[in-house]
Amino acid sequence: MDRRVDFAISVAIVGAGIFILIAASLAKERAAVFDAVGPFGFARVLGIAFVISGTVLIIRQIRALQRGLPPEAVAKGSEDEEGHPSSAMRAGVMMAFTFAYPILMPPLGYVITTVAYVIGSMAILSEKNWRWIAPMALIYAIGTFYVFATLLNVPLPNGPLTDLFKAIGLSGR
């Protein structure tokens, strides 16, 4: 594979991100805004993601060129961990977890479902450090619930934790 093609695609990704950011900033906003992020928030986030990811790709390609690595070295990335090869079973269970996640969310609530999803995913990926997994899953679930449900006012299901969330002011529903 030719390194120039990869480099051109990376530059095009950065260019697309810059274009999206400019278009979102120049677009005329409506008089009434119904959400905290605004009507072009997603476009801005997408543009920033394009610029960052394209820049990372460019940097990786330049480093590979300086080290004398072949062009396909950047595309291949790193190998699986020795003794932990990827498998169809692992991928299938992860897909089943991902399918079950939105189905279980209404009865169990966002926080409980997300904690279970993160812990289950880490178990599938053979993570062994449970002292790290459980607290981080809980912090992630509560943190994202706070951001979406409280700051951005996205209606997320509370499940059996409704009374607790109301008591601590995390959710008004």
Domain layout of the chain by residue ranges: 3-76, 88-168
Q: How far apart are CA 24 and CA 80, in angstroms?
A: 39
Find out whether 160 and 104 touch, Cβ atoms under 8 Å: no
- Rama region for 68: left / alpha / beta (φ>0; ψ in -120 to 50; rest): left
Q: How far apart are CA 169 and CA 163, in angstroms?
A: 10
pLDDT tops 90 at residue 5? no
Is 61 exposed, middle or buried, given 0-12, 13-18 or 19+ CB atoms closer than 10 A?
buried
Residues of the chain with pLDDT > 70, as a percent, come to 80
- Rama region for 20: left / alpha / beta (φ>0; ψ in -120 to 50; rest): alpha
CA–CA distances in Å: residue 44 to residues 23, 49, 107, 117, 152: 9, 9, 34, 29, 16
State how far Cα 17 lies from the chain centre: 18
Residues in the chain: 173
Residue 29, classed as helix, strand or coil, is coil
Q: How confident is the model at residue 72 (pLDDT cuts 50, 70, 90)?
A: low
Mean predicted confidence (pLDDT) in 75-99 = 71
Give 12-51 pLDDT, tens digit per residue: 999 999 998 898 888 776 665 566 666 677 788 888 999 9
Give 103-122 pLDDT, tens digit per residue: 999 999 999 999 999 999 88
Residue 35, classed as helix, strand or coil, is coil
Please, what is the Cα angle at 151 between 146 and 157, to 5 degrees?
50
Give 126-149 pLDDT, tens digit per residue: 777 888 899 999 999 999 988 888
